[in-house]
Chains A and B, each alone.
Chain A
Amino acid sequence: MNRFPPWKYALLVIALGIGLVYSLPNLFGDDPAVQVSSLRGFELERDMPARIEAAMGNAGIEFDSIEFEPQRLLVRLGNVDRQARAADVLTDALGEDYVVALNLAPATPPWLRALRAEPMTLGLDLQGGVHFLMQVDMDTARTQQLERFVTQIRNLLRDEQIRYRSVRMDRNQIVTELRSVEDRERAMRVLGRQVEELVLETRDGSETFNIRASIDEDVLRDLQQTALRQNITTLRNRVNELGVSEPIIQQQGADRIVVQLPGVQDPARAKQVLGSTATVEYRGVDEQNDPFEAHRTGRVPPQSLLYFMRNGDPILLSRTVIASGDNLINAQAGFDSQTGAPNVVVSLDGPGARSMLEHTSQNVGNRMAVVFIEHRPEVREENGEEIHTTRRVEEVISAAVTREPFGGRFQTTGLGSATEASQLAMLLRAGALAAPMQIIEERTVGPSLGQDNIDQGFRSVIIGFILVLIVMAIYYKVFGLVANIALTVNLVLIVALLSLLGATLTLPGIAGIVLTVGMAVDANVLIYERIREELNNGNSPQAAIRAGYEKAFSTIADANVTTLIAAVVLFLFGTGPIKGFAVTLSLGIVTSMFTAIIGTRAVVHLIYGRKKRLKALAI
């Protein structure tokens, strides 16, 4: 008699149930959809669904549903034709501040979505798209930072009336040459107090008394991290302009950024858009003249320039720039510690702080504006030829009253909401001087190749799978069929796990699945061969089954753990395609052990377990 405790059956049924539910979404395919998001990556307004419903109603386009998340809105449409029309209608209706992108939304039924069951994401090699790896030039970022410190040190020394011979950069350090020991002592005190980011060291030159300053390691790391984050923010803004439905922008390592744009078919344009730049400028508001009149008559006072606010109102700003994106160190949204109102805290570097202090001490009660300047790449058609140009777009993103004089660190309050505050901070950061970036790796897959890859990948999985099923059934008869059930369940479990983990399926990933199918039978083969051996040794069928499973167990465990080691190393060291392969291979090893050891045994026990006088096994 061979029986299993009921909990093992329960475990199997549960595993199978979970496997079926979570692999199911992959069968439903996609709905053509249109995705709406804000150009700047802001959250969408609450009335957006109503606006879109109205626009669609006016144009007479039927739609299945509108799904609203604060970051984006998805309109599902029945077919591709309606999708294209809806995209046109919405682009016109919503205007320049929004991005309308075509999207294929998974058509997972609501009850599955309620269980958080989602289909696998397809990698760029399967759905087509662009992958960039960008290297942030940290050396330049550091040099820029050092230059700022040089200016700051000069200004500090001048303010304290300490005479110096020179302040200059020497590789990664700043050397300040002073004329006497006394001057140097005073300078050390001043710099030590005012510039906390620097590590100071005294060193005597041949005729001068020097201070060597280098950026503190922790500060340097912070600076690099900030530079990277700024670049990521800038990239997000850029990518939104491309109208990509599900872009991935991630940090990789200390100084790299991965950008993945599924569905983008024109890498040239993507490169151009990602390479464009933005900056911000602080300017005083001209409160003496009426901007509306200047706008109407076209007569702008000579010391001012005419700008427009985001709501379209004109505003007159001084020609003098107080501080620009180069001076901006950070901008953070938060809440005022006293009033609790949303605010944005801005920090400027030394030169920016000085000029800000100068301006604000003379302009208390007047407004100060922030202008966001962007160079947007554009493609125009002229005489049948594409002409690539950039357009300078300027808009005033904030104009606030100066309450008191301030310098390098100040806050902007009076913002409508926390959302508005975070939007302002985001734009300020996007305009801050970011470290230069360079594309060091590109992988683009066209849509036709992607489809080919899917077709060929799945065809090879199915053909390989069927071949194995046939061989197993012929060679091991009933037990072969049991193994085939296990193999099928194994495939279902792998797909379910991949979907559950939110893993991305790539072509090497499919290869991993194929390989797993071939190797998954190994555990079964080990067990069956062992059972055959036991039968040949003259054991009864029931004893042979028991001995087969028990004795093969340690072999299976050892063999799989060692393969798992190889797969895990592959995962840890691999990038891109290799990782995908490693993930499916590791998952396959785990699921195949489960199905072969517990799964097939349960089925074998169901078939043979209760027969007391079993004469022979079909193996």
Chain B
Amino acid sequence: MQIIKPDININFMGQRKLALVLSVIILAIGVASLFTRGINFGLDFTGGTLIEVGYPAAPELGDVRQALTDAGFDDFTVQTFGAARDIVVRMPADQDDESGADLSTQVLRALSAQEPGIELRRVEFVGPQVGQELAEQGGLAMLYALFGILLYVSFRFQWRFAVGAVAALVHDVLLVVGILSLFQVNFDLTVVAAILAVIGYSLNDTIVLYDRLRENFRIKRKGTPTELCNLSINQMLGRTLMTSLTTLLVLIALFYFGGEIIHAFAFTLIIGVIVGTYSSIYIAGNAAIILGVTKQDLMPVEKEGEDQPDMEVLPERFRGRQGT
């Protein structure tokens, strides 16, 4: 079976202005949401206490709240988690109270006084100091990853490609974070892991495209960089879509069957894979072209007596087309 025909020729580069406008619009929405709604940071970063309790039968949330109020708590939220029988109580970190770790014990006692049949499913307590450290580490990890990638791509390709790849990555991360903010997804450590995986995935796509672009630059005698870029994208289209499809399939399985805890993680990755696929088609190549990649940049250092790659002529259908 072959969905993408070998002679496919979509003028991706011709639509790049449209793509640019689309990217800018979504980015603007995302950034606006980041400023107005902010990120719904999870416990890992804000610090605080989370207690998940399983009830024998779905309780009235009002009753649960009442039980906690009666026990003397005032700053808390009560929500269901996945199923109606699972209740999550969240409490913010108390900067002054050193004994935050005991809070969960008291909450549990208050809840079991009201309904003895409850079962403790999960407690998470993160001290404010730890929360801050985790946030710093997460941010640092992302910067180091981007920097390491920049170095490797500069080394393997050329700095313009590296800048293009990183531009695509920054675009992806901003878009994903913007969408997470828009949907107010609970932003915890697993989401950071997911974003880093998105970086890895999107990069994978970009590198594959660059690799083909480099090859075409070397073996095609004719064609402007824009034409060659378009040719490369078309040649790789089948692969790009197939890999995205299989990855999306497993992610959807994870999203629907992986349970509530892994939800945000799977959601982030699904958004990331879609965005990453789009960006490696429209952004990565574009960025390199805009930065002025030329054939000379990618010519291998010629060695005497070594076989030169055979020169091919640019196929008819790609000639004379400017990417405007």
| Contact surface of A with B, Cβ cutoff 8 Å | 125, 132-133, 135, 265, 267-268, 271, 438-446, 448-449, 452-453, 456-457, 459-460, 463-465, 467-468, 471-472, 474-477, 507-508, 510-511, 514-515, 517-519, 521-522, 525-526, 529, 532-533, 536, 551, 554-555, 558-563, 565-567, 569-570, 572-578, 581-582, 585
- CB < 8 Å neighbour of B125 from A439, A560, A562: A439
**Interface: B271 (CB within 8 A):** no
**Interface: B190 (CB within 8 A):** yes
Q: A446 to chain B: which residues have CB within 8 Å? A: 54, 119-122
The interface-forming segment of B72-80, B149-157, B283-291, B294-302 is: B149-157
Instruction: List the B residue with the shortest CB-CB distance to A573.
Output: B141
**Interface: B197 (CB within 8 A):** yes
Looking at chain A's contact residues, the main secondary structure is helix
Interface CB pairs A-B, < 8 A, 22: A442-B124, A444-B122, A465-B250, A467-B250, A467-B253, A507-B259, A511-B262, A514-B250, A515-B254, A518-B246, A518-B251, A521-B246, A522-B246, A525-B242, A532-B2, A532-B6, A533-B235, A569-B141, A574-B193, A575-B134, A576-B189, A585-B197
B5 to chain A, nearest CB (A): 10
Please, how many angstroms separate the alpha-carbon atoms of A449 and B262 in the complex? 13
In the bound complex, do residue B120 and residue A265 qualify as a contact, i.e. CB atoms below 8 Å apart? yes
| Given contact pairs A468-B249, A577-B189, A570 touches B243 in the complex (Cβ within 8 A) | no
| Given contact pairs A456-B257, A536-B6, A555-B208, A566 touches B126 in the complex (Cβ within 8 A) | no
A132 to chain B, nearest CB (A): 8
Q: A526 to chain B: which residues have CB within 8 Å? A: 208, 239
Please, how many angstroms separate the alpha-carbon atoms of A555 and B209 in the complex? 9
Instruction: List the B residue with the shortest CB-CB distance to A474.
Output: B1
Instruction: List the B residue with the shortest CB-CB distance to A456.
Output: B259
In the bound complex, do residue B134 and residue A456 qualify as a contact, i.e. CB atoms below 8 Å apart? no
What are the 4 tightest A-B residue pairs by CB atom distance, in nearest-first order? A464-B250, A464-B253, A573-B141, A518-B247
In the bound complex, do residue A441 and residue B130 qualify as a contact, i.e. CB atoms below 8 Å apart? yes
The interface-forming segment of B63-71, B97-105, B175-183 is: B97-105
Q: A582 to chain B: which residues have CB within 8 Å? A: 193
- CB < 8 Å neighbour of A444 from B123, B127, B156, B193: B123
Count the A-B residue pairs with Cβ separation under 8 angstroms: how many? Answer: 240
In the bound complex, do residue B105 and residue A558 qualify as a contact, i.e. CB atoms below 8 Å apart? no
Q: Contact flags (1/0) for B221-241 with A, using CB distance below 8 Å? A: 000000000000001101100
Instruction: List the A residue with the shortest CB-CB distance to B151.
Output: A565
In the bound complex, do residue A268 and residue B253 qualify as a contact, i.e. CB atoms below 8 Å apart? no
| Contact surface of B with A, Cβ cutoff 8 Å | 1-3, 6, 52, 54, 98, 101-102, 104-105, 108, 119-127, 129-130, 134, 137-138, 140-141, 144-145, 148-149, 152-153, 156, 189-190, 192-193, 196-197, 199-201, 203-204, 207-208, 211-212, 215, 235-236, 238-239, 242-243, 245-254, 256-259, 261-262, 265-266, 269
| Given contact pairs A566-B200, A577-B193, A460 touches B130 in the complex (Cβ within 8 A) | no
In the bound complex, do residue B149 and residue A562 qualify as a contact, i.e. CB atoms below 8 Å apart? yes
In the bound complex, do residue A449 and residue B253 qualify as a contact, i.e. CB atoms below 8 Å apart? no
Q: A453 to chain B: which residues have CB within 8 Å? A: 259, 261
Please, how many angstroms separate the alpha-carbon atoms of A166 and B52 in the complex? 56
In the bound complex, do residue A519 and residue B247 qualify as a contact, i.e. CB atoms below 8 Å apart? yes
B235 to chain A, nearest CB (A): 7
B79 to chain A, nearest CB (A): 16
Please, how many angstroms separate the alpha-carbon atoms of A215 and B301 in the complex? 60
In the bound complex, do residue B144 and residue A569 qualify as a contact, i.e. CB atoms below 8 Å apart? yes
In the bound complex, do residue B246 and residue A570 qualify as a contact, i.e. CB atoms below 8 Å apart? no
B126 to chain A, nearest CB (A): 5
In the bound complex, do residue B120 and residue A444 qualify as a contact, i.e. CB atoms below 8 Å apart? yes
A246 to chain B, nearest CB (A): 20
Q: B98 to chain A: which residues have CB within 8 Å? A: 438
Please, how many angstroms separate the alpha-carbon atoms of A562 and B265 in the complex? 21
In the bound complex, do residue A565 and residue B254 qualify as a contact, i.e. CB atoms below 8 Å apart? no
Please, how many angstroms separate the alpha-carbon atoms of A133 and B148 in the complex? 31
Please, how many angstroms separate the alpha-carbon atoms of A576 and B204 in the complex? 26
Please, how many angstroms separate the alpha-carbon atoms of A42 and B301 in the complex? 67
Q: A573 to chain B: which residues have CB within 8 Å? A: 137-138, 140-141, 144
Please, how many angstroms separate the alpha-carbon atoms of A460 and B149 in the complex? 31
Interface core residue of A465, A518, A521, A560 (most chain B CB under 10 Å): A518
Given A475-B3, A563-B204, 19 additional A-B pairs, CB 8 A: A438-B98, A439-B127, A440-B126, A441-B126, A441-B130, A442-B123, A449-B52, A511-B265, A515-B254, A518-B250, A526-B239, A555-B212, A558-B207, A563-B201, A566-B199, A569-B141, A569-B148, A577-B190, A577-B193
- CB < 8 Å neighbour of B239 from A267, A529, A569: A529
In the bound complex, do residue B262 and residue A562 qualify as a contact, i.e. CB atoms below 8 Å apart? no
Instruction: List the A residue with the shortest CB-CB distance to B106.
Output: A268
- CB < 8 Å neighbour of A566 from B149, B156, B256, B262: B149
Please, how many angstroms separate the alpha-carbon atoms of A507 and B1 in the complex? 36
In the bound complex, do residue B129 and residue A440 qualify as a contact, i.e. CB atoms below 8 Å apart? yes
In the bound complex, do residue B101 and residue A439 qualify as a contact, i.e. CB atoms below 8 Å apart? yes
Q: A511 to chain B: which residues have CB within 8 Å? A: 190, 254, 258, 262, 265-266
A269 to chain B, nearest CB (A): 9
Q: B125 to chain A: which residues have CB within 8 Å? A: 439, 441-443
Instruction: List the B residue with the shortest CB-CB distance to A465.
Output: B250
In the bound complex, do residue A464 and residue B254 qualify as a contact, i.e. CB atoms below 8 Å apart? yes
- CB < 8 Å neighbour of B204 from A271, A467, A529, A559: A559
B323 to chain A, nearest CB (A): 22
In the bound complex, do residue A565 and residue B152 qualify as a contact, i.e. CB atoms below 8 Å apart? yes
In the bound complex, do residue B122 and residue A529 qualify as a contact, i.e. CB atoms below 8 Å apart? no
